[in-house]
Structure 1
Amino acid sequence: MTKTKLSFAILLLLCSSVYFGFSQTVNDSVLFRAMEDEITRGIDQLEYKDYAKPCYISYEITDSKDLNIQAELGTISNSDTSNSRTWSFRLIVGSYELNDENFSGQNQGNMGMGGAPDILPIDNDYWGIRRSFWLNTNDIYLEAGANHREKLNLIEKGKIEADALKLDDFARADTVELLLPCNFVQPDIEKLEKKIAELSNSFYKYPELDFSTASMSFHQNIVYFISNEGTKFRIPVNSASIRVSVSKDIDDDNRLSSSFSYSAISPDDFPSNEVLLMEIETLIGDLMENEKAEKLEEDYTGPILILGDKACEVLMDNLFDYDKSLFAERNNLVVDYNGDVYFEEIDNEWQSKIDKKILGDGVTITALPKLSSWHGKPVLGGYPIDSEGIIPPDSIVLVEDGILKNMLSSRTPTNVTSVSNGHYPFTASYSGVSKSKSPSVIKIEDKNGLSEVDLKAKLIETAKEEELEFALIARTIPSNVVEMSYNIYKVDLETGEETILGNIYLNGNIEAKDMKKLVFGKETGLVNTGTGGYYDYGHLSSCIGPTALLIEEYEINVNKERDKIHTAGDEITNPLELVDRSASGMTN
């Protein structure tokens, strides 16, 4: 029994104990033995009334260390370290074929949150760990058992036809043992504070900025997992990032803002400040250019050419969206308050398109979940094993020549996937890990891709055919190092001249019917980015795909009712404009 984004099943219990300074040398044998012995007890001894026994139990313990640093104008405003131990488990009552999951009945009570104390020892206390799991496992078993019993009663009463439940509720999987080397590293906090302070100090040269900040985070996790199937693993789940943000008011109604970020596995992989300071110069120079930008006065519907990293980001958002996705969905069985029984609708339009065309001729999309580097650059979306104990294959062809061939899946069977292909991974986050569906690493290729020059010509041609006055280009601010923001430009249909627009953003969804008309660039790049759409849980995914994308029909809405930031005469003088930095010892 677990709870995911798309399931009304019993809640996956998550408990956390925050503490400081636990030993980095974790006694693995104690943790694994406590979890294994408690699983054996649960499988052998859990029973109540006419409830079925558990068919599956898995336990997970995560030890974490987090570091967060933030600076403004050369001063550290926050530097925080924390250690924590979190845990969760999954318990399924019934059989793999028919159990309590994928069902939302009327007897779910408090969704599986037991009344037992949510306490887990921070030291490796065998009996303390077992007691914590035992108290909460019993509560979850009662919830899951009641849910499963209600499901069986509906079948016995004829409210559910047996053949309507032809899909198994939980997919079987091979037994896996994967014990990777795991050690916490001690970052040089003083050095990192100095690095972030130096980045933020550079903003002193720009007193016209109303806000500026530089920050970094480093999340280290060691995850221990074991199940009654015999699967056992220990893996590191780490992430590190730097983010720089700036903004300024340009008039009573508008504020300009921009940012860049850099993602890595460790702070050791961060670029030097010499490199990052040049990126800051680029970022602020672009922000100042936007201050003079023309405003788009009316909503726009027509073609748009997207250039740079933003092309991959838009593609990922629309390949894994609410109503169209390369991730297979399960439609849950629901009993409403009136006792009516029905299956939820599947919103994913593409799920009924297997062996049918969903993209243009020549387009192939492949998942590469184990890929770690591409042309010497780190690929951050890959992983060795997912949170359900599935080692993903090296590659999965999802779309071939525009035709949908396969979909990404977890251990919850769907009408198009009977087994998992390992796409329910962990994500490093503050004080632990989270679990969610993720595309991992997606490679997008188009054998008919066009050059940027040809794409711009096609953009103008399409706009003329639609009798528009201009076309739009969204261009990522150039950088070979960090993930930059983007600008939108108005394109003159006669001269091709571009004029920057300062008050609009990409906010439209590409309709499924228009995905077939996408025109890709022939150049390819790598973007490590969070996935948007339905699966935007913060998991860092990677896209190896085109650096240019032409969308023939795209809608951008202009917000004409902006609340005023302040009224004329309210302005307070920026104190930085009055500072004599040479007298105070400050440097540019």
Structure 2
Amino acid sequence: MIFNLRSGLAAIGLTFLTQTLVAQDLLMTTLSKELQREFDQLKKADDRLYYMSYRVDDITTYSIRTSFGAITGIDSSRYRVFSPTVRLGSYKLDNTHNVGFGQFPGGIPAVDDAAIIRLAVWKNTDNAYKNAVQAYEQILTNKKVKVAEEDSAADFSPAPKVVYQDPPLRYAALRPDLDALGKNLAAYSAVLKSNPDLLTGIATIEFKIIRKYFTDTDGSSIIENSTSTWQSVYSSTKAPDGMELPLFQMYYAYEPSGLPSRDSVLKDIRTMSAKLTALRSAPVADPFVGPAILSGRASGVFFHEIFGHRLEGKRMKSDFDGHTFKNKIGTPVLPDFLSITLDPTIKQVGQNEVNGFYRYDDEGVAAQKVNVVEAGILRSFLMTRTPINGSSGSNGHARTAPGGIPESRQSNLIVKASATQTADALKELLRKEAKKQGHEYGYYFEDVQGGFTTVGRTTPNAFNVMPIEVYRVFVDGRPDQLVRGVDLIGTPLSMFRRIIAADNTLETFNGMCGSNSGWVPVSASSPAIFVDVIETQKKSKSNDRLPVLPRPDLDRSAHSSTSTSF
């Protein structure tokens, strides 16, 4: 036999690649067959069963961590999270009714062996069914002994059958150049080491590859691929009074190749380092009630926290939710120059890649653009397959972290203003309003690290946006003054009425949103907004002293030496 080594190796490589690609389809084939088998068996034993679905998140991650110029960790992992849904009863009333039961997440081995996969699916489904039975029986009991609920809508609704499959992932081609990424990260955190005021200097990256599988007893079969890259640079210092002062630089792209250039990031880090030094001696802001400007990034977080969460339809089914907007469809909720869209179908806003993109949600429904506010008028909510009074049918916003129960969640939030002003004109409005109210200054919120809100009835409905870069803008035209220790607080309905104007530049904040169904990727894009009255409070601070020992790399006495001759 004549054997050409090069062509033989190529054939072996092609065979291995073909086997790898076929193996990805094996999982869906196995899930679909096992779902039908178990549904048929359970249906015979319990005719209350009317719907089942399987969801698998097959996740591969690569991560690198550095500190002050040194690589402290390089990791990679591969795992699968299996989420079965079992519904007993009917669309009108089932085991998920206001309690969130009916799903029992587990794991599936990341192997290409149908027999092993079936065993894991069988065991997890059995647990999910038993859990669903207990929940359903408790719900039936509750119906007999508790008063009627405010929302009488059904627990579930039909959805169109969907068949969609992304091509198999080529993992070898997607594997990032860890050596090159590590060198960049080490250079980034080394810049922070050169500043003697800094206590931490960390640069990290995480590249995640996800292949999601969904199949249900209505015939839907969906395989969707996604990738995401988070690069973060974090540093902190401490003021003499003990206040901890962090700053972040966060970069998001679908793949590492989409991240900003090394020179661009280094420039950002040097600027961040200088700001941290300035923050140590910046004055502490006193509580304040008066006018302010929120930058596009800050206002994006503002709208996400205090507005977006109140549009999440499924939470309105609960009698414990505040129902801020539940009966407000068709009425003004924002100034008439503002409109808000939630759109998971887009991958970019302007030049920025956005984190809330997906094709199908976690209940197997196609992602949809939803115009929630048009010219200040509330038009819609973010809906799952769980209806609420006055709103029925999903618009593709059922989302969850791997293993969670899908809830109504935000995607890519976009705020648009029909009437805008320049950034300079907005600042002039701020100065005039501050003077009118008798203040020496107003506030400009440049950047935030995040925020949170409460939407229930048992606690006051309030919000807290956590700024990390805040300036006083003086009425008399003096240069803006950096301050520290500010939290932006308030109540939502009163705050919406205070928005007066917006500028003409859209900025994007990419992040992860945590709620009942875990952490999901989101983005918020907005112009800067001028608000005639905001309220701030002092940020909590530590009472711990600055480090007693000097940093070893800055301790000159430790590096002095004497020589001894023998």
Tell me the secondary structure at the aligned position of residue 453 of structure 1: helix
Question: Which of 23, 29, 32 is 1:33 aligned to?
Answer: 29
Question: Which of 154, 157, 179 is 1:168 aligned to?
Answer: 154
Query: Which residue of 2 is the match for residue 264 of structure 1?
Result: 253
Query: Which residue of 2 is the match for residue 292 of structure 1?
Result: 281
1:210 counterpart letter in structure 2: L
- List per-residue Cα deviations over 1:275-309 (Å, max 9, x = no partner): 2111111111222222331222x311222111242
CA distance in 1, matches of 2:554, 2:247: 21
Deviation at 1:113, TM superposition (A): 5.7
Alignment of 1:489-508 (within 5 A): 489-495=471-477, 497-501=479-483, 503-508=484-489
**Does the Cα contact within 8 Å between 1:48 and 1:142 map onto a contact in 2?**
no
Provide closer, same or farther for how the CA distance between residues 152 and 255 of structure 1 changes in structure 2, counting only shifts above 3 A.
Answer: closer
Q: Does 1:358 align with 2:333?
A: yes
Aligned length: 523
Query: Which residue of 1 is the match for residue 499 of structure 2?
Result: 518
Q: Which moved more, 1:282-291 or 1:369-378?
A: 369-378
CA distance in 2, matches of 1:258, 1:550: 24
Unaligned ranges ≥5, structure 1:
1-22, 333-342, 478-483, 584-588
Q: Does 1:468 align with 2:473?
A: no
2:306 counterpart letter in structure 1: N
Deviation at 1:78, TM superposition (A): 1.1
Question: Which of 529, 553, 558 is 2:533 aligned to?
Answer: 553
CA distance in 1, matches of 2:494, 2:153: 29
1:38 counterpart letter in structure 2: E
For normalisation by structure 2, the TM-score amounts to 0.83
State the percentage of identical aligned residues: 23
Q: Does 1:454 align with 2:425?
A: yes
Provide closer, same or farther for how the CA distance between residues 440 and 104 of structure 1 changes in structure 2, counting only shifts above 3 A.
Answer: closer
Tell me the secondary structure at the aligned position of residue 304 of structure 2: helix
CA distance in 2, matches of 1:99, 1:275: 54
For normalisation by structure 1, the TM-score amounts to 0.81
Provide closer, same or farther for how the CA distance between residues 562 and 377 of structure 1 changes in structure 2, counting only shifts above 3 A.
Answer: closer
1:327 counterpart letter in structure 2: E
Q: Does 1:566 align with 2:545?
A: yes
2:446 counterpart letter in structure 1: R
Query: Which residue of 1 is the match for residue 525 of structure 2?
Result: 544
Deviation at 1:515, TM superposition (A): 0.3
Tell me the secondary structure at the aligned position of residue 522 of structure 1: strand
Provide the alpha-carbon RMSD of the alignment.
Answer: 3.3
Alignment of 1:374-523 (within 5 A): 374-393=349-368, 395-425=369-399, 437-476=408-447, 486-495=468-477, 497-501=479-483, 503-523=484-504
CA distance in 2, matches of 1:220, 1:447: 38
Question: Which of 116, 127, 133 is 1:145 aligned to?
Answer: 133
Deviation at 1:556, TM superposition (A): 1.2
Alignment of 1:128-207 (within 5 A): 128-152=116-140, 166-183=152-169, 184=171, 185-207=174-196
CA distance in 2, matches of 1:66, 1:148: 38
Provide closer, same or farther for how the CA distance between residues 374 and 250 of structure 1 changes in structure 2, counting only shifts above 3 A.
Answer: closer
Q: Does 1:59 align with 2:57?
A: no
Unaligned ranges ≥5, structure 2:
1-18, 449-465, 561-566
Provide closer, same or farther for how the CA distance between residues 531 and 551 of structure 1 changes in structure 2, counting only shifts above 3 A.
Answer: farther
Query: Which residue of 1 is the match for residue 272 of structure 2?
Result: 283
Tell me the secondary structure at the aligned position of residue 513 of structure 1: helix
**Does the Cα contact within 8 Å between 2:469 and 2:482 map onto a contact in 1?**
yes
- Greater fraction helix: 2
Tell me the secondary structure at the aligned position of residue 293 of structure 2: strand
Alignment of 1:317-396 (within 5 A): 317-321=305-309, 325-330=310-315, 344-393=319-368, 395-396=369-370
- List per-residue Cα deviations over 1:302-361 (Å, max 9, x = no partner): 22111242222222222224xxx12213455xxxxxxxxxx6233131112111111012
Tell me the secondary structure at the aligned position of residue 320 of structure 2: coil
Tell me the secondary structure at the aligned position of residue 503 of structure 2: coil
**Does the Cα contact within 8 Å between 2:57 and 2:80 map onto a contact in 1?**
yes
Query: Which residue of 1 is the match for residue 202 of structure 2?
Result: 213
